[in-house]
Amino acid sequence: MTLEYKVKDISLHEAGRHQIRLAEHEMPGLMALRSEFGASQPLAGARIAGSLHMTVQTAVLIETLVALGAQVRWASCNIFSTQDEAAAAVVVGAGTPENPQGIPVFAWKGETLEEYWWTAEQILTWPGADQDPSVGPNMILDDGGDATLLVHKGVEFEAAGAVPAATDEDSHEYRIILDVLRVDQAVDPQKWTRIAGGIKGVSEETTTGVHRLYQLAEQGKLLFPAINVNDAVTKSKFDNKYGIRHSLPDGINRATDVLIGGKVAVVCGYGDVGKGAAEALRGQGARVIVTEIDPICALQAAMDGYQVARLESVLRQGDLFITTTGGKDIILAAHMASMKDKAIVGNVGHFDNEIDMAGLAAVPGVRKVEIKPQVHEWVFPASTGVDGAVPEHSVIVLSEGRLLNLGNATGHPSFVMSNSFANQTIAQIELWTKRDQIAGEREYENQVYVLPKILDEKVARLHLGALGVELTELTKDQAEYLGLDVAGPYKADHYRY
């Protein structure tokens, strides 16, 4: 059977393979899991629908899952985040462009939203599964929760017997989802119920997707068990913070090449991502101002030496504005209209609603000039500011308000993603190998779980050698004194790091 896939240019596979080879060297956690589990094949029988930025690092994750026995179909979780050479290399695998023997990937940089939701559907639509559900997907690996959302919405509307008509409040993107599900329902009224019935679990990568899962669980609507990978310490305290510390300036530099030193940078949100963003910008010599709604995070920012202000107070000071909140409507069109000429506006939170792009496009007389793909100058005519006459001026918006570190650069580097993806791999093994009833009891209910701390410590341990870290060993005597096991875990679950 010919391999199904859709990527930008399959001839890029060799360039992708070279990068994957180098990334493997920088991903000791994933490579150690291949050595540990390659022979026992714990993921044999798992058919994973993966929705996560199709980068070089993700290619190493995909090939690790396959090395552990899984079958995989993959899409990106963002329209701009695919590295086309990585996608091509994963498709070609050990074959040739004419005869690819790799993995079905449906991802390219610069998808339209319609194409994006088509790719999401492809990873969940396995050949022959409409006739025989036992060949359909049985696991989801998600980033941001879109694959999980599609399944849940599909099931909800099949139970209701119809897909509702869109309302005026529905976003353009939600209307596309409704359209996809409406077509499905006309052709196969039980498609999503059947798919959901086969899914044994989902492992979720990011803060935003985890938030969605907890909401579903609280409402009693979660259809399968979920592991919250984000809140593994070796994920959120590393990828979100140190990853963004690397990839945020990378994105700003590739997009604009402005000197960050001496500029005023406003970082909205001082959670894990915000902390990494602020540190990176300060490291480049910017004066950083933080905005926060949480008094604890605001106090942390102040103690770390940052000015903490409301966005409205610093609109005229900022040269760069970066959102990191995971919330919505953080930077509105009226804010952008009041910024300095050529202020740079970008987002590294998961979804594009942190910056009000629809509001920006609706400003009377505003013009959008493409500087290059994923870099746009929005020119405001004179006098559209909130506080009186303002001459014609513009802001530079990166990646159309979507994750700029992936849209304008290549996302987090391999070493930090090795931590995140080792957690993902362990979560998939955990959910898959414990999927069945054990002595009448299910190991995991339809709830959201975090991985045990001992596995978190294992992920960290796998990365120490590569950095030449000498870890001190607790003596038996010391361990007894502290009430610990020599082998860990070393901290209580509530410890915050």
82 binds ligand NAI (CB under 6 A): no
51 binds ligand NAI (CB under 6 A): no
Region of 153-161, 201-209, 217-225, 452-460 interacting with ligand NAI (CB under 6 A):
201-209
Region of 95-103, 129-137, 239-247, 460-468 interacting with ligand NAI (CB under 6 A):
239-247
Residue placing its CB nearer to ligand NAI in the complex, 3 or 308:
308
Query: What is the 8-class DSSP label of residue 193?
Result: H
Whether the Cβ atoms of residue 58 and residue 89 lie closer than 8 Å to each other? no
Place of tokens 């498709």: 91
Report whether the peptide linkage leading into residue 489 is cis, meaning its omega lies within 30 degrees of zero.
Answer: yes
234 binds ligand NAI (CB under 6 A): no
148 binds ligand NAI (CB under 6 A): no
Residue placing its CB nearer to ligand NAI in the complex, 253 or 433:
253
> Which amino acid does the sequence have at 247?
S
Smallest gap from Cβ 317 to ligand NAI, in A, equals 17
Place of tokens 């202020």: 343
**Count of residues binding ligand NAI (CB under 6 A)?**
30
Residue placing its CB nearer to ligand NAI in the complex, 206 or 256:
206
Out of 274, 318, 385, 401, which residue is the one contacting ligand NAI (CB under 6 A)?
Answer: 274
Out of 16, 269, 401, 407, which residue is the one contacting ligand NAI (CB under 6 A)?
Answer: 269
The beta strand positions in 330-414, using DSSP E, are: 343-347, 367-372, 375-380, 393-398
206 binds ligand NAI (CB under 6 A): yes
| Nearest 10 degrees: Cα torsion 38, 42, 47, 52 | -70
Each residue 352-391 as x (binds ligand NAI by CB under 6 A) or -, in order, gives ----------------------------------------
- Strand pairing report for 375-380 and 393-398: antiparallel
The CA distance from 89 to 22, in Å, is 13
242 binds ligand NAI (CB under 6 A): no
Out of 97, 133, 197, 327, which residue is the one contacting ligand NAI (CB under 6 A)?
Answer: 327
Q: What are phi and psi of 198, to 5 degrees?
A: -90, -15
Place of tokens 């890029």: 12
Q: Is 271 flagged in the annotation as binding? A: yes
294 binds ligand NAI (CB under 6 A): yes
Q: In the sheet where 264-268 sits, what is the strand order?
A: 307-308, 287-291, 264-268, 320-323, 343-347, 393-398, 375-380, 367-372
Q: Is 208 flagged in the annotation as binding? A: yes
56 binds ligand NAI (CB under 6 A): no
The CA distance from 358 to 109, in Å, is 22
Contacts for 293 with CB less than 8 Å, ≥ 6 apart: none
| Nearest 10 degrees: Cα torsion 319, 252, 286, 304 | 110
Residue placing its CB nearer to ligand NAI in the complex, 26 or 239:
239
Classified as helix, coil or strand, 261 is coil
Query: What is the 8-class DSSP label of residue 492?
Result: -
414 binds ligand NAI (CB under 6 A): no
The shares of helix, strand and coil residues in the chain, as percent rounded to the nearest 5, are 45, 15, 40
Q: Is 274 flagged in the annotation as binding? A: yes
Smallest gap from Cβ 45 to ligand NAI, in A, equals 30
The CA distance from 245 to 208, in Å, is 19
272 binds ligand NAI (CB under 6 A): yes
293 binds ligand NAI (CB under 6 A): yes
The CA distance from 245 to 260, in Å, is 14
Tokens standing for residue 336: 């952008």
Q: Is 325 flagged in the annotation as binding? A: no
Q: Is 276 flagged in the annotation as binding? A: yes
The CA distance from 322 to 268, in Å, is 6
Residue placing its CB nearer to ligand NAI in the complex, 34 or 412:
412
350 binds ligand NAI (CB under 6 A): yes
Residue placing its CB nearer to ligand NAI in the complex, 119 or 325:
325
Residue placing its CB nearer to ligand NAI in the complex, 346 or 385:
346
Q: Which of 459, 429, 463 is nearest to 38 (CA)?
A: 429
Region of 118-126, 287-295, 458-466, 480-488 interacting with ligand NAI (CB under 6 A):
287-295
Return binding residues: 55, 143, 205-208, 235, 239-240, 269-276, 292, 405, 412
Return binding residues for NAD(+): 206-208, 240, 269-276, 292, 405, 412
The residue ranges that bind ligand NAI (CB under 6 A) are: 206-208, 236, 239-240, 244, 268-274, 291-294, 297, 324-327, 330, 348-350, 403, 405, 412
Return binding residues for substrate: 55, 143, 205, 235, 239
